[in-house]
Amino acid sequence: MEDKTLSIPNISCGHCVMTIKKELGSLKGVKEVEGDPKKKNIRVKWDDPATLGQIKEALKEINFPAS
C-alpha cells in the first residue's frame, strides 16, 4: 500500500475535505483519505490499480490541485 501526504492550498474548511474524500474515495484502489484544513493537506493511502497520477488528476478536476 502506498501512503502520501499532499499539500492542497485551496482547502479552507471541513467541507472541502469532505468533497475531496468523496471524490478520491470513488477511485478504485483508494483505501483511506484524511484531511486537515488548518495544515492545508490530505493524506491518501492506496493500492493498485490507483496511481498517484490518477489521484492528482482527480484533485485537479475538482479544483483542489496538489502543489
- Domains of the chain as residue ranges with CATH: 2-61 (3.30.70.100)
Distance CA 35, CA 21 (A): 8
**pTM for this model (two decimals):** 0.93
Sequence letter at residue 56: K
Per-residue model confidence as pLDDT tens for the chain (67 residues): 999 999 999 999 999 999 999 999 999 999 999 999 999 999 999 999 999 999 999 999 999 999 9
Distance CA 46, CA 50 (A): 6
